[in-house]
Amino acid sequence: MQTKPFKIGTRGSPLALAQAHETRDRLMAVHGLPEEMFEIVILSTQGDRVQDRALSEIGGKGLFTYELEEQLSDGRLDFAVHSSKDMPTVLPEGLYLSAFLPREDVRDAFIGKAAPKLMEMPEGAMVGSASLRRQALIRKLRPDLNVKIFRGAVATRLRKLEEGEADATLLAYAGLRRLGMTDVPTEILDPELFPPAPAQGAICIESRVGDPRTDDLLKAINDQPTYDAVTCERGFLGTLDGSCRTPIAGHAKIDGGHIRFSGMILTPDGKEFHEVEIEGKAADAEKLGRMAGEKVRDKAGPTFFEGWG
């Protein structure tokens, strides 16, 4: 019987802490365990510390996970809680994504100061976003707008907006909902027009392969539809070598044992894009995601990803 507290690794932002607390609370409820059986360990990652440059310039998504994965690998942590869309498609040897919580809203939230809706923004207005996908989609829909890099935690980005560094910004609606900030968006963007990032809105738990005690703990809170959907989306991303250098959108919907996936790849300027749809059995989620990736890559041609960094 486990007598020492399970050590839960997390980043220190308010959103990361909200996600870690939700995970802990679900585990306490399902297993009937007291709060003292869980210790939340806050680690600073390089992605948190370097805020003045795009992720693609400083090493990509792994900058949000390296410190956590280091302590997972050597046993200082039992598991780590992440935003699934921050996870690289290739994990360190010996680690895996063992559980997903029920997915939140996948849509992007628009926060406009110059106008409440993206399509109503005045010509030449400045939109701040750190996401290449969001930047490319903005340029696709509104090539007359200017885009600048906008990084930082939710509060930081909202403060930058209030201080006039941009006329609008975009955030994941799921994060705002988890922070109790549903009054902040001025528009919730239609995912058909503004498709989400693969794995957006899903909290994942990373743990060690071959750790049955932790596996037994976590499997009780795994949400299978979310697991299948995100597995499909990450399969799509992995096939396209998805990183912070590539504007890629993807969303899988689960209906019973059936999965329907739609994806899009764009050039950073938003001028060229290719879409793909695929459906099949949810049990084949990863395979379907990879097939969709291969299909859209063939459609785009061999030169599509050249020169992106």
Question: How far is residue 20's CA from residue 79's CA, in Å, rounded to a whole number?
Answer: 10
Catalytic site residue 78? Answer: no
Question: How far is residue 279's CA from residue 286's CA, in Å, rounded to a whole number?
Answer: 12
Question: How far is residue 286's CA from residue 283's CA, in Å, rounded to a whole number?
Answer: 8
Grouping H, G, I as helix, E, B as strand and the rest as coil, residue 150 is coil
* 215: Cα separation from own chain's centroid: 23
Name which of 169, 174, 173 is nearest 156 in CA terms.
169
Question: How far is residue 9's CA from residue 72's CA, in Å, rounded to a whole number?
Answer: 8
Query: E-strand spans in the chain?
Result: 6-10, 38-42, 79-83, 95-100, 108-112, 126-128, 146-148, 168-172, 187-188, 203-208, 248-255, 258-266, 273-281
Residue 234 token pair: 């990450």
- Per annotation, catalytic residue among 48, 52, 74, 86: 86
Catalytically active residues, by annotation? 86
